[in-house]
Amino acid sequence: MSNPTRGRETGVQSVDRAITVLEILARRGEAGVSEIAGELDVHKSTAFRLLGALEERGLAEQIGDRGKYRLGFGLIPLAGRVSERLEVTQQGRSVCEELAARLAETVNIAILDQGVAVNVDQARGPSTVTTYNWLGRITPLHSTASGKVLLAAVDPADRAELLKDLVRTTPRTLVTPAKLAADLDDVTSLGYAWALEEWEVGLNAVAAPIRDHSGTVVAALSVSGPAYRLPPDRIEEITADTVAAGEEISRRMGHWLR
């Protein structure tokens, strides 16, 4: 009888070795089967099999008939997704800092990743009350302003998978699919999203989309703060500034607004 635990260990070991092969090729520029086998301390047949799997996925390629391998072009779209995320923080940093200073509130940039919103950059305003550190924090899509902006940009046909479990965390959380769909339609038509105590009691926020050169929404910029400092009328007042900041970052990302 086969041992499933051993199978999992072998699979993890293969993944680890494949990643190491990519690191070797990145460091050397090019390498042969024997060289890779030597660094991995495995038989040449194992190294050849790993290279074959990477080559099949376009992550490695053989250089003519020289028997050498180098990194493949299949890595470009993978790297592009990471660099895109880095670019949005680089292009948005000064805009976020200026907005946070002017509004005296916390400004965040969030991206969509594996069904959640991930805050990848933050600027804090000179508030007298210490604000929560959102950097790196994962937040839900359906009950946050940033999440709604990101969710509204997803093709409606693909949203179902992201909205399988709508968790209610406050009395204001939208957990009815029809009501949430209507809210997302408003986000699309208005160009911004509000979240008034929908994720945490006492927390309000407004968010606007950030687009890349193709017009695709790649991130959301939000301004958030305690409800006593950001009541609905104040949220309404700062919405235009939030949208303008999102448009400025989009412009820096190569999206020329008409």
pLDDT-above-70 percentage for the chain: 89
Give the residue numbers spanning the domain of 63: 4-73
Q: How far apart are CA 228 and CA 213, in angstroms?
A: 38
236 located within any domain: yes
Does residue 181 sit in the same domain as residue 65? no
Q: What is the pLDDT of residue 13?
A: 83
Radius of gyration over every alpha carbon of the chain, rounded to an integer in angstroms: 23
Write the CATH number for 58: 1.10.10.10
Q: What is the pLDDT of residue 144?
A: 96
Residue 90 in contact with residue 205, Cβ under 8 Å?
A: no
Q: What is the pLDDT of residues 108-136, one digit of tens each?
A: 999 998 888 989 899 988 764 555 677 77
Q: What is the pLDDT of residues 26-42, one digit of tens each?
A: 888 899 999 999 999 99
End residue of a domain, out of 73, 102, 133: 73
Q: What is the pLDDT of residue 7?
A: 43
User: From residue 100, how far is each of 19, 64, 107, 134, 241 by CA, in Å?
Assistant: 40, 55, 6, 14, 11
Domain total of the chain: 2
Q: What is the pLDDT of residues 3-30, one digit of tens each?
A: 444 444 466 788 889 999 999 998 888 9
Sheet holding 138-139, edge to edge: 138-139, 116-123, 106-113, 217-226, 203-211, 193-196
115 located within any domain: yes
Tokens of 84: 């895109």
End residue of a domain, out of 55, 73, 91: 73
Does residue 53 sit in the same domain as residue 120? no
Maximum CA extent, the chain: 70
Does residue 31 sit in the same domain as residue 156? no
- pLDDT > 60? residue 159: yes
168 located within any domain: yes
Does residue 132 sit in the same domain as residue 60? no
User: Can you list the alpha helix ranges (DSSP code H) found in 104-218?
Assistant: 145-152, 156-162, 177-190
End residue of a domain, out of 58, 73, 88: 73
Q: What is the pLDDT of residue 84?
A: 61
> Nearest CA to 218 among 82, 18, 14?
82
- pLDDT > 90? residue 250: yes
Q: What is the pLDDT of residues 192-234, one digit of tens each?
A: 999 999 999 999 999 999 999 889 999 999 999 999 999 999 9
Does residue 67 sit in the same domain as residue 107? no
> Nearest CA to 96 among 132, 128, 135, 143?
135
Does residue 52 sit in the same domain as residue 134? no
The residue type found at 133 is: N
Partners of 70 in beta bridges? 61
Q: What is the pLDDT of residue 81?
A: 65
258 located within any domain: no
Q: How far apart are CA 94 and CA 62, in angstroms?
A: 44
Q: What is the pLDDT of residues 52-85, one digit of tens each?
A: 999 999 999 998 777 899 998 888 777 766 656 6
257 located within any domain: no
Q: What is the pLDDT of residue 74?
A: 85
Does residue 247 sit in the same domain as residue 139? yes
